[in-house]
Chain A
Amino acid sequence: MLTKITRIESDKPEMLEIHCHSISDEVREIVAFVKSRQGQLTGVIEGRQFEIPITDIFYIEAVEGRVFIYTKEKVYETKHKIYELEGLLKDKSFLRISKSMLLNLMKVKSITPALNGRFTALLHSKEQVIISRKYVPELKRALKGGKN
Chain B
Amino acid sequence: MNIKEFLMRRIYLYFVLVTLITVAIMFMGIIFDGERTFGYDSLASPLIFAAFSIMPTFVMYSSKELSIKQVIVRKLIQFVMIEGIVIAIACLSPVIDSNNIGILMLLSLIVLVIYILVNAAMWLQNYMLAKKLTEEIIQYQENIQP
Contacts and interface: CB of A to CB of B under 8 A. Distances in A.
A106 B65 contact: no
Contacts of B126: 113, 117, 119
A67 to B, nearest CB: 21
Interface residues of A, number: 24
Interface residues of B, number: 23
B107 to A, nearest CB: 27
Contacts of A105: 137, 140-141
B67 A111 contact: no
Interface in A92-126: 93, 105-106, 108, 110-119
B67 A108 contact: no
A139 interface: yes
Given A113-B123, A116-B68, A106 B130 contact: no
A116 to B, nearest CB: 4
Contacts of A136: 129, 133
Given A116-B68, A116-B71, A118-B65, A144 B141 contact: no
